[in-house]
Amino acid sequence: MDESGGRRAEKAVQGSIQRRAVTRSVTRNRNGGGDDQSVRPDKAGPKSARRRLIDKLNRNFSGLGENVCASKFSADLGSKNDAETDFCPVKFHGSSSSDAVQDVVCTFCPRKIAILEKVGLGGLQYLKRGIHNSRHLVFWLLKRMDIQRMQLKLGDGSRVEMNLDSVERILGVRCRGSNISVSSGKVSEYVKQTLRERFGLDETKEVQDLSDLRKVLHRKFINELSEYDEETFVISIAAYVCAYMFGPAMRTAMVPIDIWDFISNPVKLLNCNWGGYVLSTLQSCARTVQLNVLNNPSSIKLGGSWLYLEVHACSQFF
């Protein structure tokens, strides 16, 4: 081999050695990540349902004060004596939305506001936009509600009374008068026909949907309102509020079928006890939730007035 050939062979060997060195360095960085990687602890396993619920409550209510959530909500979540404590479903379903009600009420003229107060829902004119409801908190409160005594049991052992005074103070709705009755079956044919005539629906539609109610609620009052038109407005706002704020658990917002027979009579709405309906619906929802958690379902439906439930529980901090 001549001299030039020897130099080329020597350079080739040196280049091969350098490439192997670089390859080993890259591989070591990828696999080991340096000496620090060898002592890195293993990733934590998936959080338990109890821990996820506590973390969610703390994030949503961290602004209420130092250790508020830990003392009021989370304390009892670590108890091993309660078999249901560790359960938290993967999904929650519900249609409660004070924003939906606020979006409509904020457009009301003074005449409509007067009707709102007349029907006993005047406090809803003060709803603020962007109220966030924590479904985890609603679930936790419904799961722990003392149904017989109508009390909320907080994590630190304290109890919060649920009564008409608290509903009136928080929601500003009428809490006296006749009880709102619910029917056990379907909407009667007489009521269906009456509603079709009042709202101008055809025979293919049994009852009003939310778009029908919005049309009435957004209708402008140009001339003096007739008694018939005022009654239609009263029925519409009552049905709309029941669909979005006061009603039972549903996947999507709709007027509860069992209340149409009552609210289709506008005279009854002028003296009905909205507070009693709010409490009775929450009681029924809590009973359903507490029965459902025994089966560890992957999802649970939440109903009732979430706004009242959350504000009433959190008001005890102050």
Task: Assess if residue 22 is contained within a domain.
Answer: no
Q: How far is CA 187 from CA 27, 244, 258, 263, 264, in A?
A: 72, 20, 7, 11, 10
Full residue range of the structural domain in which residue 266 is found:
49-81+88-317
Task: Assess if residue 9 is contained within a domain.
Answer: no
Characterize the bridge pairing of strands 91-93 and 299-301: parallel
Dihedral (Cα; 76, 77, 78, 84), 10-degree rounding: 110
Q: Measured between alpha carbons, how far is 137 from 56 in angstroms, rounded to an integer?
A: 8
Kindly report, residue by residue over 61-76, the tens digit of the pLDDT: 454 444 444 445 554 4
pLDDT at 10: 52
Q: What share of the chain is helix, strand, coil (3-state, %, to 5)?
A: 60, 5, 35
pLDDT at 269: 96
DSSP state of 239: H
Alpha helix (H) residue ranges in the chain:
3-31, 49-60, 68-69, 98-105, 110-118, 135-144, 164-171, 189-199, 210-217, 227-241, 260-263, 266-269, 274-292, 306-314
Q: How many domains does the chain have?
A: 1
Q: Backbone phi, then psi, for 292, in 5-degree steps?
A: -70, -35
Task: Assess if residue 171 is contained within a domain.
Answer: yes
Task: Assess if residue 111 is contained within a domain.
Answer: yes
* Contacts (Cβ under 8 Å, ≥6 apart) of 148: none
Task: Assess if residue 131 is contained within a domain.
Answer: yes
Q: Measured between alpha carbons, how far is 278 from 131 in angstroms, rounded to an integer?
A: 19
Name residue 145's beta-bridge partners. 152
Task: Assess if residue 16 is contained within a domain.
Answer: no
pLDDT at 272: 97
Task: Assess if residue 119 is contained within a domain.
Answer: yes
Is 243 in contact with 255 (CB distance < 8 Å)? yes
Q: Could you list the pLDDT tens digit for every one of the 318 residues in the chain?
A: 554 555 554 554 455 444 444 334 333 344 444 443 333 444 444 555 555 555 655 555 454 444 444 445 554 443 434 444 567 888 898 889 999 999 999 999 999 999 999 999 999 999 998 888 889 999 999 999 999 999 999 888 889 999 999 999 999 999 999 999 998 778 888 998 999 989 888 777 778 899 999 999 999 887 778 899 999 999 999 999 999 999 988 888 999 999 999 999 999 999 999 999 999 999 999 999 999 988 888 889 999 999 999 999 988 765
Q: Measured between alpha carbons, how far is 143 from 178 in angstroms, rounded to an integer?
A: 29
R_g of the chain computed on alpha carbons: 30
pLDDT at 22: 37
Task: Assess if residue 13 is contained within a domain.
Answer: no
